[in-house]
Structures are given as structure tokens and as C-alpha cells.
């Protein structure tokens, strides 16, 4: 089957298949007489395995290190990963470290904001003052806004806006 059909069967895109091939996760494919990549059912199964492992937190680099053994996961039932060492153990320790970091970050933010259950009294978060919204400049469009639409003045990016593009007056300043 061609790359588009294989990608659709595996629930991904042709671009992803080319990427997997470039990174060594997928063997270079045979070519049709017209030069198009040709995939078989085994390739589609391998692509599904790759996607499943990526969805479970593995990185492409993790998978590159075990690319020669990915086909083993197509067995029914798949083999056991053993003692949890190797790439699985490494990924679990990375995830545990990230969970610990995020937990500390969350606790610090909760204490700073004085949320119920936090140990420290609230400390006001500094919110920079936003400049007032400028008066609309009719400019060359004669009061027309974006794409020449009336009633929508063009405002420079970030002016009168707080974090994430939210109007500054709507941010909690407590």
C-alpha cells in the first residue's frame, strides 16, 4: 500500500511516516516502479506501536535506542519488559522527576496565592500596569479596522493586554 493508505490505516499522516523513517524507527521502504514508498501490514503494525509508545510518554530518542526490538511488541501477548530497567526504567524516572518538580511548583504557587490548604499566608503577585488603550487612529483606512472592516480598530499587539492576550482589566489583581 502507498504511504497515504498506510498512514490512514495507522491513524497518522504521511509526514509522520517519513519522519519515523528519517529517525530510524521505520526501516526504509521498498519503492514502486514509479518511486513511491510501499508499506505492508507489518509496517502498519509497527507504526501503531510507535504511536502508542509515543502517546505513553516515550520520546523519539527513547525509541531510537530500541528500534531494533520494536517488532517484538507486535507479538500477542507482547513480551514483558522485565525488571523495569532500560528505556522503560529511564522514562519512568524522568516522569517521576517531572511530577516531583511540578508538585513543588504547584505548592509554591498555592502558598503564594494563599489558597486553602497552603501553609503560608498570601503574598500579592505583582501585576504590571498596562498602558491605557490608545485612542483609535483612523489612519489611511478612514476608521476601518482589520482587513478594512468597519468598527474594528487595529491595536498594536500587546497594548492594553495582560498575560495570554486577556484584557488587562479582567486580570485578578488581588
**What pLDDT score does 115 carry?**
86
Q: Is the pLDDT of residue 174 over 50?
A: no
**What pLDDT score does 30 carry?**
86
Which has more confidence, 165 or 55?
55
For residues 97-116, average pLDDT: 91
In three-state form (DSSP H/G/I as H, E/B as E, the rest C), the secondary structure along the chain is: CCHHHHHHHHCCCHHHHHHHHHCCCCCCCEECCCCCEECCHHHHHHHHHHHHHHHCCCCHHHHHCCHHHHHHHHCCCCCCCCCCCHHHHHHHHHHHHHHHHHHHHHHHHHHHHCCCCCCCCCCCCCCCCCCCCCCCCCHHHCCECHHHCECCCCCCCCCCECHHHCEHHHCCCC
The pLDDT mean for the chain works out to 76
Over residues 59-103, the pLDDT tens digits come to: 999 999 888 888 888 777 766 766 566 788 888 898 999 999 999
Amino acid at each position: 500500500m502507498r504511504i497515504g493508505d498506510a498512514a490512514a490505516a495507522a491513524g497518522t499522516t504521511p509526514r509522520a511516516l517519513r519522519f519515523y523513517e528519517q529517525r530510524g524507527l521505520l526501516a526504509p521502504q521498498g519503492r514502486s516502479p514509479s518511486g513511491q514508498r510501499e508499506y505492508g501490514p507489518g509496517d502498519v503494525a509497527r507504526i501503531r506501536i510507535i504511536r502508542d509508545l509515543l502517546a505513553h510518554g516515550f520520546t523519539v530518542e527513547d525509541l531510537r535506542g530500541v528500534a531494533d526490538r520494536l517488532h517484538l511488541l507486535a507479538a500477542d501477548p507482547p513480551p514483558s519488559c522485565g525488571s523495569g530497567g532500560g528505556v522503560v526504567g529511564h522514562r519512568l524516572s524522568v516522569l517521576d522527576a517531572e511530577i516531583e518538580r511540578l508538585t513543588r511548583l504547584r505548592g509554591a504557587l498555592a502558598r503564594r496565592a494563599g489558597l486553602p490548604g497552603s501553609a503560608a499566608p498570601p503574598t500579592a503577585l505583582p501585576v504590571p500596569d498596562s498602558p491605557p488603550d490608545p485612542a483609535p487612529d483612523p489612519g489611511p483606512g478612514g476608521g476601518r479596522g482589520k482587513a478594512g472592516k468597519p468598527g474594528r480598530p487595529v491595536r498594536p499587539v500587546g497594548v492594553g493586554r495582560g498575560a495570554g492576550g486577556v484584557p488587562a482589566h479582567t486580570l485578578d489583581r488581588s
